[in-house]
Each structure stands twice: as structure tokens, then as C-alpha cells.
Amino acid sequence: MKIHKRLHEEGTKAILITLAFIVAITLVANWLWSTQTVWHYLLYAFLLTVLVLTVRFYRVPIWRKTTVVEDAVLSPADGVVAANEEVLENEYFHDRRRQISIFMSIYDVHINFFPFNGKVSYYKYHPGKFLLAFKPKSSTDNEHNTIILKDKKGREVMVRQIAGFVARRIVCDLQAGDEAVVGEELGMIRFGSRVDVFLPLDADIKVKIGDRTIGKETVLAVLR
């Protein structure tokens, strides 16, 4: 699905609710204390900040260009690399893989992007807990979506969307057989959350822990 809007459609309801909340609080404050004081202006500033942050959270980076590098796996999310390690992946591959975890704060763009071209060969939603997203156990214990992308050469990469302590909704409408076009929207996760990418062990990793990634621009790895 191509994105052309500056605000994601998922944000419509949240922004309207925030606006209604701000109007209600403002009316009540002015009814209780009709004389304007410095506290009124502090309240207005706080409410305006809440509105700006809510709108900003649902922003769509339409200005970005997808990085073109042969055999590259791009970052599916904005954030900071919180893990880069060899792990045993037991849901689909049942072997050892290179796991790169990207922690997304509430200030990051929360749209997720397809990291490379191929097809969705596997998709499964897992209900679960809402642990802090940077904790290792959140990868399997938290509510999450598991997506396997397979390219024409038969190479497979797993992308796992993980809900965090604040995030309570993962948005993803994929199903097995869907086309995966690098740089296009895969889904999104509301508020603080995490995305894990599982790669073959022989992949040439291009990032390290602490690096900041930009969705569909940063090269995570090059597949062999």
C-alpha cells in the first residue's frame, strides 16, 4: 500500500479524541476560574503540547527516498539498535539467526516498512503481555506479529512487530501471499515499541548497538 498522506489514517480517531479532551478541559477550567491567570496559560501550553505530540506521532515521512542497494535488508523502523546478537529462533526457522532489535520511542515515526522485496510467506499474530519493549523477553512474551518475507532467490527474513508497555495496538493487515515491496508500508505500532529482524548468520551486518536507524533508508545488512 503506497502512502501519500502526511498523517496516517490510524491517527484520525486519536487526534479527534485529543481535540475533544482539550476543548473539554479548557471549558471546565474557564468555567471554574473565569479570571485568566498564569496557571491558565500554563494549562493551555500543556494542552497544546499534548496535541502537537499526538499529531506528530502519526506523521508520515513522505519526503523519504528508499535506499537502493543490491541484496540489502533495510531498516523497517525508525529507532535505536538495542540488540545485535546470534539467537535461537524457535517459531519458524528453528535454528540460529542474527537478531537485530530496533527500539522505537514515542518520538520516532511509528510506521513500519518492508525491508526488502519479496512475498509474505508466513504471518501470525500472537497475543501476549505488555512488558517494556527494550527487555529481551518482550520479543516472545509481548503481543507481537511475526512476518516472514521471502525473495525470488528463496532467502527469508523475519520481521517481528512487538507491542511495548505503552503501545496497545499493532496495525498490520498482511496475509500470506501478499507482495512485499521494499520501502512501502508494512504496518505500524502505536507509541513506544520495538521491531526485531532475524537474518541468516552469513548476512553482512552494517549496524551496531546504539546506532540510530531510519526506516527504509538505513541498511541493516546485505544478504549473501
- Which residues, at least 6 apart from 63, have a Cβ–Cβ distance to it below 8 Å? none
138: annotated active-site residue: no
Buried b (16+ CB within 10 A) or exposed e, 165-198: bebeebbbebeeebebbbbebbbbbbbbbbbbbb
Would you say the C-alpha torsion 76, 168, 119, 136 has a positive or negative sign?
positive
C-alpha cell at 82: 538495542
Asked whether 47 and 200 are in contact (CB, 8 A), the reply is no
- The catalytically annotated residue of 75, 138, 139, 193 is 193
Angle made by CA atoms 222, 74, 67, in degrees to the nearest 5: 100
Question: Catalytic amino acids?
Answer: 193
